Amino acid sequence: MTRTSIPVLSEEEAQEELIKLYAWAWSQDILRRAGLPSEWDQGTWATDRLGCGTSCCIAGKAFLDAGGKFSFDARRDDEGEVSASYGYIDGRNFVRIDDWANTWLGGQTEEHSLIVSAMFSPDNSLSDIRNYIKERTGVDPKKKIQMRARAHSRG
């Protein structure tokens, strides 16, 4: 495994990335509740399902958005699924997805790192993630998204 230095986002960059991740999870949750396929699955770093495509959690989505590529297990299970806990970033550095995302999004302080790490729990609902982001950034991501949508619709 190649060791890599994981970049840490500035406070402003982390806030924007967390809001973007929340918007993605929110949109995917709407699809899921409508009975449609969703890319968000908080219960896995990354899973590829035959015929359904790839789904991932918040940490996995952050990893993908930063250019990461999942390293899926070699064999599918009985249900045709294969999962990943590791991946390649920058095309060559092999990293644990959660460790990378935790440092990237929460690396400013130990407190921020603990909040982001807790946000990645597989048991978290969309509401839990919203609350962790509010705690991490001081900004309510849902209200920020709604405010931006209203401003955009006014032209």
Block means of pLDDT (10 residues each) for the chain, length 155 residues?
A: 66 92 96 94 85 86 92 78 87 87 83 85 93 92 92 78
Domain range holding 27? 11-153
Identify whether 3 is part of a domain: no
Burial class from Cβ neighbours inside 10 Å (0-12, 13-18, 19+) for residue 22 reads: buried
pLDDT of residue 155: 64
Q: Provide the domain count of the chain.
A: 1
Beta strand extents in the chain (DSSP E only): 46-49, 53-56, 69-70, 81-84, 86-89, 93-96
Identify whether 1 is part of a domain: no
Identify whether 19 is part of a domain: yes
Identify whether 2 is part of a domain: no
Q: Could you give the CA distance from residue 74 to residue 8 in angstroms, rounded to a whole number? A: 31
Identify whether 132 is part of a domain: yes
The closest of 69, 64, 40 to 52, measured between CA atoms, is 40
Identify whether 5 is part of a domain: no
Identify whether 58 is part of a domain: yes
Single pTM value for the model: 0.86
The three-class DSSP label of residue 68 is: coil
Burial class from Cβ neighbours inside 10 Å (0-12, 13-18, 19+) for residue 154 reads: exposed
